Each structure stands twice: as C-alpha cells, then as structure tokens.
Amino acid sequence: MTSFRIKRLAYALVLLAPFAGAPAAAQWSDDKPPVLTPDDYPPVAGEDAPDQHSDSTTTPPDSVPDASTAPDDSAEPSDGTANGAPRPLQNGDVVTTLPPPGQNIEVGTLGTAEGPPAGTLDPSTGGLDGNIWSGSDRAVVQDLLARAPLASADTPLRTALKRILLTRAAAPVGPAKRAFVTTRIEKLLDAGLIEEAGLLASQASVGNDADFARVQARALMIAGRSGDVCSDKTATRLVSDDVFWMQLRAYCAAAGGDRPTADLTNSVLKAQGNDDHAFDTLLDDALNHYGVMPGPIAHPTAMHVFLFQQAGLPIPADVASTMGTAENLLVMREARNPPRTRFEAAERIIASGAASVNELKVIADAQDLPLARVSSAFADAPNLPFFMGQVLLRRAAVIEPRPDEKLRLAVQALSLGRKFDLFPLASALQADVIVSFKPSPSNKNQARLFARALLLAGQPEAAARWANGDAVMQTIVGIASKDPARLAAMQSGLGAFAAGLMKDPPDPDPDRSYKALVLGLADVLGLPMPPDARAEAASVESQMWDGRRPGPGLMRSIQEVSLRPERRGEALLMILDTIHETGFENLAPDATIEFVRLLVNMNEQETARVIALEALAQYVPPPQLVPAAPAQ
C-alpha cells in the first residue's frame, strides 16, 4: 500500500463519529384553513432546533484548532461576493494548515476568547459609542440580552435593540460561557434579521471557539453569503469530524474544483452511516443547476438551506416548519412557494416582527379564501391564530357593503390585536380598512380606537379626522405631526391640560392620567409649550400616577446606570426590557415620562421620540374609582 493510501485511510478513520437526528416536520391538513398548533411554531429565541448531528460541546479536543492554528483575525472582512473556495488538498495532506492567529484577541476570566470588536454601526453611521459595555458586568448584560425583545412586533423596541446589537463595541468584561458576539449574531437570527446577522458574522472572529464557529457559519449560510461560507471564516470545516462541518468541507471542495477531496469526504460520511440523500442531491444541484428538488428532509440544517439557495431552488415548507424564524422568513419571502405555504410560514413568525406589514398584506391578499369562510369571519376569527383571524376579518371588511357591518369587523380585528398583545400590528394590517370609514355620529364611539390605530400605523393625518372633539387625541396628533397648524393646536391643548391638572381638588376626569402623560412627555421631549404648562409639567412628573411601574430599587438602578456612558448599553437594555415586560398600555405615566427623560439625557433623542409616540398611542387610562354613596 502506498504512503498516500495509508495516510488517506488514516484520515478517513479519524473522521468517523456517531450522530443523532432531530424531530420530523409537522404537516398540515389540506381540507381546512391553516390553524396552527403550538407544535407548528418555530423555537422561541434562544431555543432554535439544533442543526443535524451537531454537538459542539462534545467535539473531540484534537478536532479543534489550537491558538497556533486559529484563523487570521486581522484579515479584511469579505463582502460575501468574492470566490472564497478553499485550497484543494494535496496528495499526502491530512488537513490544510490554518493561518496564524490575529493579534486583537481579548481573553475572559474563564478562558472565554473575544475577538476584536465587530459591528456594522458606529457613531458616524447611526450606532452608539464603542465603550457602551466597558463598565458593565458581563453576567448582567448577558441576562439582559437574553430577555431583550428583539424578536418583537413592537417596532420602536425592535429598532432600538437592533441598533444596540449592531454597534461596534468591545464586549463587557467578566466570566462568560460564550463569546459576546456569538450571542449577538444568534439574537439577530432569532429575530429574522438575516442580512444583519450575516454581515455581523462576516466581520467577527473568535479563535478556537467551536460555539462561535457554528453560529457564525449558520448566519453566513442563511444569509447566502457564498463568498464567506467557503473562506477562512469557516476554517473549522477543515479539521472537524462533525457531520455539519464535513458536509461544508465537501461542498467547498467541490465548488472550488477539488473533486478528490469532495469525493473522499463524502465517502467518509457514508462510511460513518451519515448518508444524506437530500444533501447529495442539493450538492449536485448547487454545482450543476439541474433544478431537481431533493424530496422530504427529515433533519434540515443550515447546510440544506444554503444549498437550496445556491441551487436556485425554493426552500420548501417542510424545511422551515421544524426550524427557526430566519428559515421561515426565507420560505415566506420565496415568491415561487404556493400562497398557502407562504402564509403558514408567516403565521409561525408573526409575533417576531421579522415580516414587514407590507409583506404580510401581500401574503394576506394572495390567499384564496372560500366565500363561506369569509362570510363567517366575525364568528370564526376569535378561535383562530392571530394572522388567520386578521386575514379573514380584513377580507370580509373589504367586500362588506354594509357600513355598520364593515365597522364591526374592523373593531373586532383591533380587539383581537389586544387579545394577542399585537395591537400595533393589527392596527397596521387594518389601517387601509379604517381609512375607508368616514367619522360620523353613528361611529363616534370608535373614534379614539381608530385614532390610536392610525397613529400606530404611522398615519397621523388620517388619525386627525377621528380626533375632532377629543382634546387628548388632538394634542397627540399634534405631537406626531409636523404640520405647523397642528403643532400650534398642540400647544393650546397642553396649556389647557396644565390648567386642569393644577386644580385642587381636581375635577372628575377619566383622562386625567392621560393628560398628565401627554404633558410630561411633551416637556421631557423639549416640545414648545406655554410657560405655565412647562411649570406644571414639573409637578406632574414628580407625582405617582396609577399604573404599573418598576420597583423603586430597579428604577433607582436604571437611573444610576444611565448616568455612566461606559454602561450605556446596559441602561438601554434595562429600559427596553422593563417597557416590554410592563407594556406601554399599562405603564404608569410617571414611569414612562422618566424613561423618556433618561433616553433624552443619554442623547438618544430619536429613540426617546418614537417610544414616547408609541406610549401615547397605546396608553389606556385606568378606570376611575366611583366614590361610594354616602350612608343614609
């Protein structure tokens, strides 16, 4: 036997390893509208189903490169478009030698490596400063980040958190079980921010970290960054005996023209008992573009998703149904998929905020709904998942000729939005129906509801039509609008609110706390108002109003942390998490005003403004206590 064959056999033997599978995909019944059960939804953030045969915690020590063979962290990040195929293995090679490590490596207390700061934003591009974590404890930040509502349909919170996660900043110090950038990339993927996760993954580097390597590779694959997938960013594929990495090694070798390495790797996979027909079919199709679908995939992984993309094939429903938000989003966006398939994927991720309102409307309008089903929308919608109910009610309202019935359908859609804690999304989905109504004495009871919904849908001018006669809504519309006449009316409204709030004893007023919220937020945002109103605002802000609020210890902690620029990221996470847990509609006016004030003081004016507008549109004044009748 030649020396080459001996080394080749030894190489094959080293790669043999057992593996286990994942649950099979759930199926839908075809004779009913899609009604999802909990098992049909993807894993929640942080609980995505693992890729096939993965177990990064049990990778043999000798299969992970040590510090002397780690990838070069100092190399410029790829733009994802260049040809990044690996160098073919030469006869006699066991593995390709990896480049030397980069110089900018930070090491944590428990051996946790952190690469150089990575991110797509900095102060010049709308990001935060690079020191936002430098004074924070790592464990505290990791806990806050795990709870952060990035996968949320609440747009202001999602937008603010995305900016934090994409900011280029050094990781907080302290013990950690995983690299900070790993958590950031995974959080972005779980929220369906595919392009952002892929770009961050392409810039990040952490040496000798199997967990980071796997999350980075998944992000690059889901984002379809083919130039990065076969670059030194996935160098683990050259040394690992895990099935995922070996499949990637086979693909990259074949894509780079190294058929011997590709064939050898596939032979080893089959010798292990890891024969994957779908992978073989997709690999062949990615290289030759035959256009052949692989059939059912029992245990889909990011590798399969990437190969579907490289082959130019639509990702099918059975692949997404057992995977996470990012994969379902790809299925939802694939125009070649049947409308029902796209709808089911959208329903699974509806609460994540990953799909835009415009995307959801397109999918809703593409559904072929039986007329009998539409005609029973009002009765059926309360028993359906959120998106299905909204689609039925929206379709029924569009074709309903009777104004009163059309109104009733729209009101129920908004009511179900509150039931599912998705009122802003319901408002956006039903906005075009609400705009079609004309305010009249017959629908005056819905005026405030519709004004709120249109404000949340970003249509303050349409909301203004429903604010006539409602001083609170008129003033809120003025704050949201850039129209000079409405801004002048806003100042008049603020003056009237201040005068009413100054009365002692106060007049009975169900909107008293609402007016306090409007006045206080206008003050901390620095909006123009009469001097008397400005003076009364300070008194309003110092009072405790009815509603839910963080405990005094937590609020004091948030206030103290917000004063320290080196803990800015931590302060923002604390504020956003507290708002999300409490809810805009339930948060006491003084707590909302204080959070917005803290944001302004941290120079987060735009975040402060959008959160204030969201709070004004969603806040629900608590019921006023009715005094007991005097004893006879």
Separation of alpha carbons 240 and 58, rounded Å: 11
DSSP string, 385-451: -HHHHHHHHHHHHHH---HHHHHHHHHHHHHHHHHTT-HHHHHHHHHHHHHT----GGGGGGHHHHH
For 172, 574, 606, the CA distances from 578, given in Å and listed in that order, are 21, 6, 19
578 domain-assigned: no
How far is 325 from 194, CA to CA, in rounded Å? 10
Report the alpha-carbon distance of residue 533 to residue 407 in Å, rounded.
38
Q: How many CB atoms lie within 10 A of CB 63?
A: 17
pLDDT computed for residue 45 by the predictor? 39
Within this chain, do residues 402 and 282 fall inside the same structural domain, yes or no?
A: no
Quick one: 256 and 288 in the same domain? yes
Among 313, 346, 379, which residue terminates a domain?
313
329 and 407 both lie in a single domain: no
> Is 7 domain-assigned?
yes
* pLDDT over 90 at 565, yes or no: yes
Q: Are residues 297 and 215 in the same domain?
A: yes
Q: Amino acid letter at 530?
A: P
- Which of 428, 456, 484 is the C-terminal boundary of a domain? 456
List residues bridging with 173 in a β-sheet. Answer: 137
Question: What was the pLDDT predicted at 193?
Answer: 98
The model's pLDDT over 357-372, given as tens digits with 9 standing for 90+, comes to 999 999 999 999 999 9
Residue 106 forms beta bridges with which residues?
114
Alpha-helical runs (H) found in 153-276: 155-166, 180-190, 194-203, 210-222, 226-229, 243-255, 259-271
pLDDT given for residue 321 in this prediction: 87
Q: Does 154 map to a domain?
A: no
Residue 29 backbone dihedrals phi, psi, to 5 degrees:
-85, 140
pLDDT at residue number 201 = 98
Reported as a single tens digit per residue, the pLDDT across 281-339 is 999 999 999 999 999 998 999 999 999 999 999 999 888 888 999 999 999 999 999 99
Predicted confidence (pLDDT) per residue in 93-141, tens digit: 333 333 344 334 444 444 466 889 999 999 999 999 999 999 999 999 9
Let me know whether 197 and 70 are in one domain.
yes
Judgement on whether residues 331 and 347 belong to the same structural domain of the protein: yes
Give me the number of domains the chain comprises. 4
Q: What are 383-416's pLDDT values in tens digits?
A: 999 999 999 999 999 999 999 999 999 999 999 9
Examine residue 480 and state whether it is found in any structural domain, yes or no: yes
Give 10-30 pLDDT, tens digit per residue.
444 344 433 333 333 333 334
Residue 159 lies in a domain: no
Query: What range defines the domain where residue 395 resides?
Result: 371-456
Whether residue 513 is predicted with pLDDT greater than 50 in this model: the reply is: yes
Are 107 and 254 part of one and the same domain? yes
What is the average pLDDT score of the chain?
Answer: 85
Instruction: Look at 339 and 79; give whichever has higher pLDDT.
Output: 339
Domain boundary among 456, 480, 512: 456
Cα–Cα distance, 89 to 79 (Å, whole number): 25
Residue with tokens 């056999």: 9
Query: Hey, what are 207's tokens?
Result: 């040496």
In a domain, 47, yes or no: no
Structure tokens at 41: 């939804």
pLDDT at residue 19, rounded to an integer: 34
In this structure, of 176-180, 187-191, 306-310, the range with the lowest mean pLDDT score is 176-180
Name the residue with higher pLDDT: 97 or 527.
Answer: 527
**Same domain for 493 and 449:** no
Shared domain for 598 and 483, answered yes or no, is yes
- List C-alpha distances in Å: 1 to 6, 94, 95, 263, 265: 7, 17, 21, 20, 20
The CA–CA distances, whole Å, from 134 to 74, 96, 129, 565, 566 equal: 22, 38, 11, 9, 5
Q: Considering the domain boundaries, does residue 202 fall inside one?
A: yes
Q: Is residue 448, in this structure, part of any structural domain at all?
A: yes
What 429-436 contacts at long range (C-beta under 8 Å, 24+ apart), as own/partner pairs, is: 429/357, 429/360, 429/361, 429/364, 429/390, 429/394, 430/390, 430/393, 430/394, 430/397, 431/457, 431/459, 431/462, 433/394, 433/397, 433/398, 433/406, 433/409, 434/410, 434/462, 435/459, 435/462, 436/406
Whether 222 and 298 map to the same domain: the answer is yes
Q: Is the bond into 101 cis (omega within 30 degrees of 0)?
A: no
* Residue 284 and residue 428 share a domain: no
Q: Within this chain, do residues 415 and 522 fall inside the same structural domain, yes or no?
A: no
Which pTM value belongs to this model? 0.81
Here the tokens at position 528 are 């123009």
More confident residue, 74 or 346: 346
Per-residue pLDDT for 37 more than 90? no
**DSSP conformational letter for 564:** -
Q: What is the pLDDT of residue 51?
A: 45
Backbone angles phi, psi at 13, to 5 degrees: -65, -35
